[in-house]
Amino acid sequence: MSTPDDAPDGAAARRERLSALWSAHAVRVQAYLWRHTDPDTGQDVLSETFLVAWRRLDDVPDPALPWLLVVARNLVRNAHRAARRRRTLDDELAGLEASAPLPEAAPEALAVERDALLRGLARLSEREREAILLVAWDGLAPADAADVAGCSTATFHVRLHRARRRLAGYADSTVDGPVDSPAVRSAAPSRRSA
């Protein structure tokens, strides 16, 4: 009785093909990666490149090296974009932290609360974050904030409502219990500004 591994198109044949691809091209793909990234990232991307090759083994053409290098190049670009996003998020957090007013309650509770609020703000889109900051930190009325944001008052109200809802969700999910800071209270919906 034959098993799937004994079949010519079975798993054994796939493993052999991947092994042959690795033996023939791994060193050259790794050299390419070291020219375009650091050695640690290069190792990770090399592994990911051959993982993609395994998943798409039927799509790997002959000769395989150009295809593998395109996959590696795309993965390097993805890694660079992810690193840029991490740096941007770190910069956003640093900027928000520098501009956040200092609270007046117990330091450890306020540190956790402030961190949750800043992380929630960083996760908002740029427009949502601007809406919250214009109202809560700059103290503008929604009509004035709409002028600054370059949109109608109605559009600004929608942005602000969505931003408040998302910020409250982010803050609640990162702290045990709801966040009740002055910044969240001033950003929270009220009958006057909503």
Q: Is the residue at 58 inside a domain? A: yes
Give the per-residue pLDDT at 82: 87
**Which of 51, 86, 121 is a domain's end point?**
86
Q: Which of 111-115, 162-166, 188-192 has the lowest mean pLDDT?
A: 188-192
Q: Report the CATH number that the domain containing residue 17 is assigned in CATH.
A: 1.10.1740.10
Q: Is a pLDDT exceeding 90 seen at residue 164?
A: no
Q: Report the CATH number that the domain containing residue 163 is assigned in CATH.
A: 1.10.10.10
117 and 168 share one domain: yes
Q: Is the residue at 62 inside a domain? A: yes
- Kindly report, residue by residue over 142-154, the tens digit of the pLDDT: 888 888 888 999 9
Q: Is the residue at 26 inside a domain? A: yes
Map tokens 């670009």 to a residue.
77
134 and 72 share one domain: no
Rg (CA), the chain: 26
Total structural domains in the chain?
2
- Kindly report, residue by residue over 101-113, the tens digit of the pLDDT: 655 656 666 677 7
Q: Is the residue at 192 inside a domain? A: no
Which residues touch 13 (CB under 8 Å, ≥6 apart)?
7
Q: Is the residue at 101 inside a domain? A: no
139 and 172 share one domain: yes
81 and 119 share one domain: no
Q: Is the residue at 102 inside a domain? A: no
pLDDT-derived band at 184 (thresholds 50, 70, 90) equals very low
Which residues touch 72 (CB under 8 Å, ≥6 apart)?
29, 32, 33, 45, 46, 49
Q: How far is CA 90 from the centre of its chain?
A: 11
75 and 125 share one domain: no
Cα–Cα dist 44/75, whole Å: 10
116 and 81 share one domain: no
Q: Is the residue at 125 inside a domain? A: yes
Q: Is the residue at 81 inside a domain? A: yes
77 and 116 share one domain: no
- Kindly report, residue by residue over 93-136, the tens digit of the pLDDT: 788 777 766 556 566 666 777 777 788 888 888 888 888 888 88
Instruction: Find the domain containing 41 and state its range.
Output: 11-86
- Kindly report, residue by residue over 29-74, the tens digit of the pLDDT: 999 999 889 999 999 999 999 999 999 999 999 899 989 999 999 9
Q: CB-side exposure of 113: number of CA atoms within 13 Å?
A: 20
